[in-house]
Structure formats: C-alpha cells, structure tokens
Amino acid sequence: MKFPTSAFKAYDIRGKVPEELNPEVAYRIGRAYADFLKPDKVAVGYDIRLSSPALAEAVAQGLMDGGAEVLDLGLVGTEEVYFATHSLDLDGGIMVTASHNPQAYNGMKLVREKAKPISGDTGLRDIARRVAEDAYARSEDHSLYEQKSQRYDIGDQFTRHLLGFVTKAALKPLKIVVNAGNGAAGHMLDNLAPHLPFEFVKINHAPDGNFPQGIPNPLLPENRHQTSAAVVENQADFGVAWDGDGDRCFLFDESGCFIEGYYVVGLLAKAFLDKEKGAKIIHDPRRTWSTLDVVEANGGIPIVSKTGHAFIKERMRKEDAVYGGEMSAHHYFRDFAYCDSGMLPWLLVAELVCRSGKPLSEFVLKQQAKFPISGEINLQIDNPQLSVKKVLDHYASTAVAVNQIDGISMEFSNWRFNLRGSNTEPVVRLNVESRGNKALVETKTNEIMALLKADAELPLREGARK
C-alpha cells in the first residue's frame, strides 16, 4: 500500500487533516526521518492547533520505533525547536505546525543537526518516498514511550538567549501592544516580560486552537485592525502581532500604522551594523533598493540571495552574515543558529526606540518615502514561467540591469520590479518599487498587469502565502 505524500511541499509539510495528514502518516514521517538521518536524539514540539498534540505524539512514536530518543518540548514556538536542536547539540528537530494556514490544515517543519533545514533538495523528497513506499509498523511495546521520551522545558534557556541580543541597561519603559493571535507566541512573551521594563497590552494572548479571531496572519490587511486599534486606544509606543507558530512578527508604529516587512529589514540591518561595522547582510531579491540604501549607508555589505528560508540560511552560513531578512517578515540571525525568529525583531526594535528616544515611525518614514512599493501582487496564471518570459522580453531592451536569481528582477533609472513564478502552484508574484515616486509605482504596476492580464485569472490576496 502506498501512503499519500501530497502534504510534502518544497520546504516543509502542509496538508489537510485528516485527508493528507493524520496520526498514521505522522508516525510514518517519524520513522522515515529516523531512517534517513539515523539520529540519536530529536526535539519534537507542536503549536496550538487542536490536531497538533496527536500528530506530535505519533511522529515521536515513529522516531522512537526508528531508534531515536525524543526530547518532548510540548507547546512551543517554531523557533524554540530550532533553538533546542542547536543549543542542546541534538541530531534534529520536528515542529508540528501549519503556521498561518487555514484551520483545516496542519504540517511539520523538519531540521537536522545545528537546526539546518531539511527541504526538498536536502532530504524532504527522500523522506516522502520512504513514507509512501516503506513497510512501517508500530511497535507493540507501549513502555517504549516512557523509556525513550523525555519531557523538556526549553523556556528558561531560550529566554536567556534572547535577552543576550539586547543591552538591558539601554532599555526604558515602553508601552507595547502584543497580539499573540491565539498562537504560540504568548508563553514566549510571558517568559520575557519579568526581565523587561515594558508594559504589555495583551490581546488574543491565550492559546486557543479554535482561532476565534481567525487564523493569525497579519500579512492579510483584514487581520491588522485589532492590533492597530489597540495601539491607538492605549497610546502605545508600538504594536507587534505574530503568526500562528510565532516565527514571524509584524510591527505597527505609534499611530497604529502597519509597517511593511521590507522596511523592517533595513531597520534590523541598521541595528546590527550599529554594533558590528562592516558586517554582511543577506536580503531577498523581490525588493532591494531600500535595503541596499540602509546597509551601504551604515557601513555594511549587502548580499542578495534567492527567496526562501533554506536558501537564505545556506547563504548566511557561507558568508558568515550577521543578519538576513525577507520582505515576508522572516528575519534570520547568525547568533540564533542562522534561523528565523519572531521574538528577536521586536526586541531589537524596542532597543532602537529606547536608545534614540524617537518614535518608531521616524525610523521608517524616510525609507517609505524614498522607496515606495506596490505591495506583493499575486495572480493565478496557467503558465507562470511563460508569462514571466513574456514580461522579460518586453522590457529587455530598456532595462539597465537584469537579475534572474529568483524569477526576474529588472532595473531602470528610477524604478525596478521583480516577477517570479511559483514552483508549486500556477501563480506569479509581482513587486514594484521606485525612487521616490509613488505615482510611477502605480503606473508601472498597471503596465505590467496589463501584459499579464490575458493570462491571469483572479488576483490572490496579498500575503495569502508565507
């Protein structure tokens, strides 16, 4: 019998429960992971989704039947699995989560030693093949779980590590709205709070797998109002909202205005370059001019990488880069095992605000005006790669620079764009930016959209995918 593997994606596992992902499939994933890596000890954690504890128990059973010991982290954020894997020198880690996906979904993120990602090119396809084809059967020894599974609370170690990124003496009282989105961020905040001079206004803080306020995904404009309104109502210094597994945070300034992740990349780059002149900063190619401007002005070395966590992390290791950022609000840190964190960005921003005495808006208004953007526009198209080539051919003769690291990035004297086709679905993603001319952004966006219009179906909402 072949088991379904449609939940296996390019970088992780995401599927509907129970059709694509259920305890039996989860068990087989644990067995296949153990066969593939031959690990001695693996960390397992899970998010707040109602199906997550059962899936975590099943994947742990598969790991143990495959010869591994399991460190059971319980309910955690994804970054806590990364941290435990690296800091405790484990052989791997598995986080059961579907992040911001709809409630009917669940999934898994897999890493190996030193929290290195396992994606399609580095083992995920091999694990999928084993799940589909190998003959696995559960052990009948029910004492195995107690023998080879150890409950472990990573919270205190994780909190101490986070605090090491900021100078506590520089921190001053701030009022911060925090929206955990009924997700995995709440307990991480609670662990940090006693060590910080901040007043937290908490909304949607308690874990609730029913997601009464909707699936946590602040990239969707309709999911931002609560945080924005709470900032204004409480006269807070800024606001923070997290996605469903806590590994991405989104910032709101003191007026409740949402700050695009693109401008936060420059903000965090500056924070690191203030402490380490000449450091290397990794960024994705979708939007670049603002990041280049900030990094170069602050004595850093900007390096572009293909979009995606596996590519960013690999390039950061190769370059020994201190920080890497994507416009999708994934932020990566050298001293966090080159992994992404949703806790570190707001902590570093809080330190910037405290040191400067300036409101958060002052750090981004200049860049927003200097390099206006279109926002990411997603369109369903039958043949994404053909459409990308059509746009490339149209602008090739007038572009001053063309880069094909990830889709096509084409630059002109005062505007640029990136257009990329999805590898997993019939979608193209468009980003346009200019040098100080918002009207030009709109004009050029409409111009490219007209080229694509004949091939396109309905636009997807911005931020519909992570």
Q: Could you state, in order of their start, the residue ranges of all structural domains in the chain? A: 13-153, 174-259, 260-359, 370-460
Closest CA to 180 of 160, 205, 155, 151: 205
CA angle, residues 284, 309, 267, in degrees to nearest 5:
50
User: What was the pLDDT predicted at 15?
Assistant: 96
Backbone dihedral angles phi then psi of residue 418, each to the nearest 5 degrees: -125, 135
Length of the chain: 466
Give bridge partners of residue 39 from the DSSP assignment. none
Domain 13-153 sits in CATH at 3.40.120.10
Considering the four listed CATH numbers 3.40.120.10, 3.40.50.1970, 3.90.1150.10, 2.60.40.680, the one that applies to the domain covering 174-259 is 3.40.120.10
Closest CA to 223 of 176, 175, 179: 179
Closest CA to 51 of 120, 108, 110: 108
The whole-angstrom separation of Cα 2 and Cα 223 is 40
Which residue type is seen at 122? T
The whole-angstrom separation of Cα 186 and Cα 216 is 13
Q: Which residues contact 3 (CB under 8 A, 6 or more apart)?
A: 24, 25, 28, 131, 132
User: Could you report the average pLDDT of every consecutive run of 10 residues in the chain (466 residues)?
Assistant: 85 95 97 98 97 98 96 98 98 96 95 96 96 88 79 98 97 98 94 98 95 89 95 98 96 98 97 95 97 98 94 96 96 98 98 96 96 94 90 97 96 97 82 98 96 70 43
The b-or-e profile of 45-72 (16+ CB within 10 A means b, else e) is: bbbbbebbbbbbbbbbbbbbbbebbbbb
Q: Which residues contact 439 (CB under 8 A, 6 or more apart)?
A: none
The whole-angstrom separation of Cα 345 and Cα 266 is 12
Question: What's the gap between Cα 440 and its chain centre?
Answer: 30
User: What was the pLDDT predicted at 274?
Assistant: 92
For 236, how many CA atoms within 13 A lie in the half-sphere containing its CB? Answer: 27
Catalytic residue among 99, 119, 149, 228: 99
110, 104 Cβ separation under 8 angstroms = no
Backbone dihedral angles phi then psi of residue 340, each to the nearest 5 degrees: -90, 145
Alpha helices (H) along 134-279: 144-148, 155-163, 186-192, 225-233, 261-273
Determine whether 255 is an active site residue.
no
User: What was the pLDDT predicted at 1?
Assistant: 55
Considering the four listed CATH numbers 3.40.50.2300, 3.40.50.620, 3.20.130.10, 3.40.120.10, the one that applies to the domain covering 260-359 is 3.40.120.10
Give bridge partners of residue 339 from the DSSP assignment. 333
Closest CA to 75 of 100, 97, 106: 97
Q: Do the domains at 260-359 and 370-460 have one common CATH topology?
A: no
User: What was the pLDDT predicted at 461?
Assistant: 46
DSSP single-letter state for residue 222: G
Backbone dihedral angles phi then psi of residue 303, each to the nearest 5 degrees: -135, 125
Q: Which residues contact 190 (CB under 8 A, 6 or more apart)?
A: none
For 419, how many CA atoms within 13 A lie in the half-sphere containing its CB? Answer: 26
Question: What's the gap between Cα 342 and its chain centre?
Answer: 8
Domain 370-460 sits in CATH at 3.30.310.50
